[in-house]
Amino acid sequence: MRKVIIAIILMPFIANAQNKTDSAFIRKLSDNVMVYGKAYDNLHYLTKQIGGRLAGSSQFTKAVQWGKETMQAMGADTVFLQECMMPHWERGGTDKATVVSVNGKKEKRALDVLALGNSMGGAVTSEVVAVANFDELEKRRNEVKGKIVYFNFGFNPTNLRPGKSYGEAGLYRRSGPSQAAKYGAIGVLIRSLTEATDNNPHTGTMVYNDSFPKIPAAALGLQDADYLWKTCLQNAHVSVSLTTGGHFLPDAIGHNVIGEIKGTEHPGQFITVGGHLDSWDVAEGAHDDGTGIVQTMEILRAFKATGFTPKHTIRFVLFANEENGSRGGLKYAEVAKAKGEKHLFALESDGGGFTPRGFGFTVGSDRLKKIKPWTELLMPYGVYEFTEGGGGTDIEPLNKTLETPLSGLQVDGQRYFDVHHARNDVFENVNKRELNLGAINMAGLLYLVDKYGL
Residues in the chain: 454
421, 190 contact by CB (below 8 A): no
User: Which residue, among 138, 195, 141, has the nearest Cα to 165 in the 3D structure?
Assistant: 195
Question: Which ranges of 86-221 would DSSP assign to H, the alpha helix?
Answer: 134-139, 162-181
Residue of 143, 57, 62, 140 lying closest to 92 (CA atoms): 57
Q: For residue 148, list its beta bridge partners.
A: 128, 187
Beta bridge partners of residue 135, listed in sequence order: none
Rounded CA-CA distance 202/224 in Å is: 12
Report the SS3 class of residue 362. Answer: strand
> Which segments within 92-237 are labelled E, that is strand?
96-102, 105-111, 113-115, 122-131, 148-151, 187-191, 217-220
The phi and psi torsions of 191 (rounded to 5 degrees) equal -75, 130
| CB within 8 Å of 156: residues ≥ 6 apart | 164, 165, 168
Q: Of 284, 322, 348, 396, which is the active-site residue? A: 322
Q: Is 83 a catalytic residue?
A: no
- Residues labelled as active-site residues: 322
